[in-house]
Amino acid sequence: MTDCIDLLGIPFKEGGRDLSGLDCWGLCMEIYRRAGKMLPDFQSPSDKKTINKMIQENKDLAERIPNPEPLCLVLFRLCYPLATHIGVVLDDCVRFIHTSKKRNVVIDRLDQIIWRNLREGFYRWIE
């Protein structure tokens, strides 16, 4: 996978699609772009129910997989039971990169209890 260390610390920005600020989908788009793949640009609403509905309506664009693999998407239920957050699994399949309002772009471990308990699943993007 492409290097993404330079993305760490980029501010969270609702609807952000460039390096001045990214939301979680904008970050996924940037990482995939660096890997030579293009993800569609879904408008990222701020309403959690709308985000969940958008995710559910577009799940056919990705294949659910049982275990993490490099560059797969990882979906979380931050507002249980709604799936509202997404990140990208890194090469080691132990860590993932994501962004949030409170922490900006960061790398966390998939096995941290908070992320393990909130994880909805892993998805391989279908091209």
pLDDT digits (tens, 9 = 90+) for 55-66: 788 878 899 999
- State the chain's maximal CA–CA distance in angstroms: 34
78 within 8 A of 118, measured Cβ to Cβ = yes
Q: What is the rounded CA–CA span in Å between residue 17 and residue 23?
A: 7
Report which of residues 51 and 12 the model is more confident about.
12
* Phi, psi for residue 117 in degrees, rounded to 5: -75, -25
Residue 43 pLDDT = 75
Q: Residue 37: which pLDDT band, with cuts at 50, 70 and 90?
A: very high
Query: Does the pLDDT at position 1 exceed 60?
Result: no
Which CATH architecture does the domain made up of 5-125 adopt? Alpha-Beta Complex (3.90)
pLDDT at 36: 94
Task: Work out whether strand 73-76 and strand 119-125 pair parallel, antiparallel, or are unpaired.
Answer: antiparallel
pLDDT tens-digit map of 69-121:
999 999 999 888 888 899 999 999 999 999 999 999 999 999 999 999 999 99
| Distance in angstroms (rounded) separating the CA atoms of residues 40 and 25 | 10
- The whole-angstrom separation of Cα 16 and Cα 44 is 9
**Alpha carbons 102 and 24: distance in angstroms, whole number:** 12
